[in-house]
């Protein structure tokens, strides 16, 4: 009997075992056996259980995907959770964190704009890094605009100053200091 059939049969006999399997999946996750944790959570979600909050399982599954480096899967699940949750800023924080990890600075900024309570430090960091990305593509003017936007948050922040140096070097065809 495969795992899915075993879980389905166990839950059919006793609905309370769904919570047990969810806890087992969390233990697997804590132990670093992410593949087993993901498998169990995906099975539970496929069963449309009433006694376990779908949102909780999905959020936990997204975190497992994140731990496994499956960023697209994690973001996809978080987008689904975003549609059903009341705690939207928490989901947006997780998305922002993942996008920061994979250096998708434009997406970090897009996610931060959606939050009720914006994090100026994250926005500043993303603006600086996005400016660097744009500068590396050769668009000096746009890179400057992004840094000017970052200056509205904290004009004396070291990241901003370092990126202005990068722009100066780029404008003057200099390599590095």
Same structural domain, 38 and 62: yes
Distance CA 47, CA 137 (A): 47
20, part of any domain: yes
89 contacts: CB under 8 Å, gap ≥ 6: 115, 116, 117
Q: What is the pLDDT of residue 162?
A: 95
Each residue of 91-108: pLDDT tens digit? 999 999 999 999 999 999
Instruction: Please check whether residue 106 lies inside any domain of the structure.
Output: yes
Q: By residue range, what is the domain housing residue 117?
A: 86-172
In a domain, 79, yes or no: no
* 99/55 same-domain check: no
163 with 92, same domain: the answer is yes
**91 with 164, same domain?**
yes
Composition of the chain by helix, strand, coil, percent to 5? 75, 0, 25
- Find all residues with CB under 8 Å of 58, minimum gap 6, and list them: 45, 77, 80, 81
pLDDT at 51: 47
Matching residue, tokens 């964190």: 97
CATH number at residue 27: 1.25.40
What's the pTM?
0.86
Cα–Cα separations (whole angstroms), residue 25 to 8, 38, 39, 50, 79: 15, 7, 8, 18, 22
Each residue's pLDDT tens digit, 104-161: 999 999 999 999 999 999 999 999 999 999 999 999 999 999 999 999 999 999 999 9
Please state, for a pLDDT cut of 90, what percent of the chain lies above it.
Answer: 76
User: H or E element: which one contains 94?
Assistant: helix 88-101
Supply the pLDDT for residue 165: 94
Cα dihedral 102→106→110→113 (10° resolution) = 110
Would 77 be classed as within a structural domain? no
Q: How many domains does the chain have?
A: 2
Q: Among the three residues 70, 95, 130, which one is the final residue of a domain in this structure?
A: 70
Which tokens belong to 142?
A: 């746009």
**Residues 155, 121: one domain?**
yes
Q: What is the pLDDT of residue 139?
A: 95
Q: How many CB atoms lie within 10 A of CB 62?
A: 25
Question: Would you say residue 80 lies in a domain?
Answer: no
DSSP state of 51: S
Kindly state whether residue 112 falls inside one of the protein's structural domains. yes
Q: Binning pLDDT at 50, 70 and 90, where does residue 48 land?
A: confident
141 within domain boundaries: yes
Residues 111, 44 share a domain: no
Q: Left (φ > 0), alpha (ψ -120 to 50) or beta: where does 69 sit?
A: left
């Amino acid at each position: 009997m495969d795992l899915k059939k075993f879980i389905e049969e166990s839950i059919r006999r006793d609905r309370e075992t769904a919570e047990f399997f969810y806890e087992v999946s969390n233990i697997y996750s804590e132990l670093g056996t992410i593949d087993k944790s993901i498998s169990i959570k995906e099975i539970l979600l496929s069963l449309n259980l009433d006694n376990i909050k779908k949102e909780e399982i999905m959020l936990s599954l997204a975190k497992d995907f994140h731990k496994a480096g499956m960023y697209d899967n994690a973001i996809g699940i978080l987008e689904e959770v975003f549609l059903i949750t009341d705690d939207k800023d928490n989901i947006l924080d997780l998305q922002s964190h993942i996008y920061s990890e994979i250096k998708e600075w434009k997406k970090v900024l897009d996610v931060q704009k959606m939050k009720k309570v914006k994090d100026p430090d994250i926005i500043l960091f993303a603006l600086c890094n996005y400016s660097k990305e744009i500068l590396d593509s050769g668009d000096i003017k746009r890179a400057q605009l992004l840094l000017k936007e970052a200056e509205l948050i904290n004009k004396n922040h070291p990241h901003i100053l370092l990126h202005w140096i990068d722009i100066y070097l780029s404008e003057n065809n200099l390599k590095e200091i």
